[in-house]
Structure formats: C-alpha cells, structure tokens
C-alpha cells in the first residue's frame, strides 16, 4: 500500500473514531444537561453543585459508551488501569467544565437558567477537547500494530485489511 493509501486509511479511521466519540459524547451531553436542569429546578442545590452531580452521571454513562462502542476494539487487558485513567482524566474534564460555569456564575453573577445552560454547554465543549485527546492517547490505547517479528495484532477491521494488503505485497 502506498504512503498516500496508508494516510487515507489512517484519516478514515480517525474520522470514524471522531464520529463515534461524537455520538457517545452527544448522548452524554444530553444526559448531562437533562440531569443538570432536573437537579437545578427540583432541588435547592446551588448551580455548580448541580452541575458537578450531572457531570458525574454523564461520566458514568460515557464510560460505558466509550468502552463498548467507540473504543470496543482497543486493548482490554488492563481494565483497572483503564478505568483509573478514565476517571482521572474525566475529573480534570469535570474541573474544566465546571470551572467555566463557576467563573460565569460567581465571577460575573450570570446565574439565570439560560446563562447557566450556555456556560455549562461552553464548559462541556472545552472539556470535550481535552477528554478526546486524553482518552485516545492514554486511556483507550490501540493494540500493537504490525511489527518486524510477526503478524499484526489488528485493532480494527481497517487495521486487519491493511495488514492483509501488506502481507500480499510482501511489505512489513
């Protein structure tokens, strides 16, 4: 396979990964916003505490979606380490997400329901960029690719197809 073809395969794989991450993240966003608004309007909890609670519920929802949908083909041998890293990076994302809301609410006194939802959404967006990078880099690691000493342990259908093409052409 040519370098251009390999680049195309990698780009296609990244686009699919981003789409799956977005699907799970979009569902998690809805869970987050629904729980946030439900807690905010039915309990006396302050806005940021309601947001933290909603974020925790969404983090649990997202882990299941990422592990069993987005990254189902990734290494599953170290689940304890994976979950620990997921929770660590999710906690950093939680701080980013709720830091934006905290700043708007207590720094600028923007506390109306509309303002809270806008800044909650904005915080989720900023935190999502960090989470995407950290989850794909540290948490849901790819399996080893083709090596010089043996056949590939493919991490997806695309990787398996790429490995077969290399075997047919005699490339490693």
pLDDT below 50 — which residues of the chain?
A: 147-156
Do the beta carbons of residue 71 and residue 23 sit within 8 Å?
no
Per-residue H/E/C for 142-160: CCCCCECCECCCCCCHHHH
Q: What pTM did the predictor assign?
A: 0.72
Question: Mind listing the pLDDT tens digit for each residue in 1-50?
Answer: 688 888 898 899 889 888 998 899 899 999 999 999 999 999 999 999 99
């Amino acid at each position: 396979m040519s370098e251009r073809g390999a680049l195309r395969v990698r780009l296609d794989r990244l686009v699919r990964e981003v789409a799956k991450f977005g699907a799970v993240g979009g569902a998690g966003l809805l869970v987050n916003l629904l729980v946030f608004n439900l807690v905010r309007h039915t309990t006396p909890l302050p806005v940021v505490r309601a947001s933290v609670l909603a974020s925790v519920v969404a983090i649990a929802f997202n882990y299941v979606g990422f592990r069993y949908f987005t990254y189902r083909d990734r290494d599953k041998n170290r689940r304890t380490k994976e979950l620990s890293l997921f929770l660590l990076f999710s906690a950093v994302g939680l701080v980013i997400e709720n830091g934006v809301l905290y700043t708007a609410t207590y720094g600028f006194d923007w506390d109306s329901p509309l303002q809270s939802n806008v800044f909650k959404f904005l915080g989720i967006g900023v935190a999502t960029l960090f989470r995407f990078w950290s989850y794909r880099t540290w948490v849901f690691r790819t399996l080893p690719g083709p090596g010089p000493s043996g056949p590939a342990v493919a991490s997806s259908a695309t990787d398996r197809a790429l490995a077969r093409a290399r075997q047919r052409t005699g490339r490693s």
